[in-house]
Homo-oligomer: A and B are copies of this chain.
């Protein structure tokens, strides 16, 4: 890819969105940020990396967690010491996402990157979803998750992702008009979807 381009990927749990993003980044020889992003953010702030997980449903529970992990009330970033822990975590992630996007082409998975980078014109925003049967199968086989009712579990994780997104943005997670393109991996496959995104990057007018 000659031109600098940032690809953000939002994804339903079990849709294979992370795998799509990884394949795309590998193929384009550009950096890929998912858990890696969390680690960067955690390193920056000194907060337990687990707290950055958007799937863990910890919004608004800042103070309980703060007590649980014995986190110091003093903020490492000046001027934001009166914010809640979750809001501070979001702000730290925001700064990191902005720095990454400024630096070079990359693929960013989750964490409201589409919203955070809305003002840039070198960004393409993708939402990845899949049919429930495939999502359940992927959760069981690829992610080795054991749950009595996997559909309930899958929907619960999505609900948390939606809550996180809807809380920190003025948009609704999974609504088509937030994204440049939404793609179903049950229709196009993981490789097929990654290939389509490459076509989309060339089609941007």
Chain A residues close to B by CB (< 8 Å): 12, 124, 127, 129, 174-177, 179-184, 187-189, 192, 195-196, 199-200, 203-205
For A187, what are the chain B residues with a Cβ–Cβ distance below 8 Å?
Answer: 124, 180-181, 204-205
Question: How many copies of the shown chain assemble into the complex?
Answer: 2
Subset of 22 A-B contacts with CB under 8 Å: A12-B177, A127-B176, A127-B182, A129-B176, A175-B175, A176-B176, A180-B183, A180-B187, A180-B188, A181-B181, A181-B182, A181-B183, A181-B188, A182-B182, A187-B204, A187-B205, A188-B200, A188-B204, A189-B203, A189-B205, A192-B205, A196-B200
Q: Report the bound CA distance from A127 to B184 in whole Å.
A: 12
Extra pairs beyond A129-B177, A189-B205 (8, CB < 8 Å): A12-B177, A175-B175, A177-B184, A181-B187, A182-B182, A192-B203, A195-B203, A196-B199
For A204, what are the chain B residues with a Cβ–Cβ distance below 8 Å?
Answer: 187-188
Contact of A184 among B129, B181, B195, B199 (CB under 8 A): B181
Q: Report the bound CA distance from A189 to B129 in whole Å.
A: 23
For A179, what are the chain B residues with a Cβ–Cβ distance below 8 Å?
Answer: 176, 182, 184
For A203, what are the chain B residues with a Cβ–Cβ distance below 8 Å?
Answer: 188-189, 192, 195-196
